[in-house]
Amino acid sequence: MSETLSNIARSNDRVAPNAALHVEVIADFVCPFCFIGKRRFDEALKAVQGPSDVSWYPYQLNPEIPAEGEPFDVFLTRRFGSPANVEPVLKHLTAEGKAAGIEFRFDKLRHVPNTIPVHQVMQLAETLGANQSAVAEDLLSAFFEQGRNIGDRGELIDIAHPHGISAVDVNTAIDSAKVKQLVLTREGQVRSSGMVGVPGFLVNRRLLVVGAQPTDVIVNAFDRAMFGEGTDALESPALN
């Protein structure tokens, strides 16, 4: 396994040593494939029906976006060029999302945020012992299904509240230079491991699933990580 990714797993103090399955999810919240991948990952967890522990690692899909974010149409033009290039991409994502139970509403999107504050809230959720996956689900749904600006502090407060996270704690986390630096450090660990895209699912500290893979591929990765022969290789079943 990559030494950096091994260190990421070992440094996560939420790891339950006796858990049959532990997964670090590496994702960003303006990444549609991360939403699709999360839904397929959730189905895979249901399929194995065993004890599991899940934690999340930050990754900025668009680190070049200004702190205030940018208009969605500007982002699309910069990323894909002409509208003719964008349309088939969004159509494909809509179909993939529908199959995963996601109603992508790209027509509602007006703003693409810088996601550092979003990752700070996810870091806060981990610190407070909140269910990070549940918070992540609401963040992804808010952006992709409701068209909300999840980079906005007020929106983040509203999304965090049902998970037992107070407005005071959200404001403190977003304003904290220490929390921001922790997010950037953890992202730096991921990038230095060689990852250039998300989602990624590091399973039981020994096997990496890259991309929004089908549920059966993820289940197979779980089986290999829990019951397969030991290996030091970092690998993805999608690439083998």
Give 65-84 pLDDT, tens digit per residue.
999 999 999 999 988 888 88
Q: What is the CATH number of domain 3-227?
A: 3.40.30.10
Give 118-159 pLDDT, tens digit per residue.
999 999 999 999 999 999 999 999 999 999 999 999 999 999
Residue 240 has pLDDT above 90, yes or no: no
Domain ranges of the chain: 3-227
Residue 235 has pLDDT above 60, yes or no: no
Mean pLDDT of 14-32: 78
Residue 11 has pLDDT above 70, yes or no: no
pLDDT band at 51 (very low <50, low <70, confident <90, very high): confident
Q: What is the pLDDT, as a whole number, of residue 79? A: 86
The per-residue DSSP string of the chain comes to: --HHHHHHHHH-TT--TT-SEEEEEEE-TT-HHHHHHHHHHHHHHHHH-S-EEEEEEE--S-TTS-TT-EEHHHHHHHHH-SHHHHHHHHHHHHHHHHHTT----GGG--EE--SHHHHHHHHHHHHHT--HHHHHHHHHHHHHTT---TTSHHHHHHHHGGGT--HHHHHHHHH-HHHHHHHHHHHHHHHHTT--SS-EEEETTTEEEESS--HHHHHHHHHHHHHSPP------TTT-
Q: What is the pLDDT, as a whole number, of residue 50? A: 78
Q: What is the pLDDT, as a whole number, of residue 18? A: 39
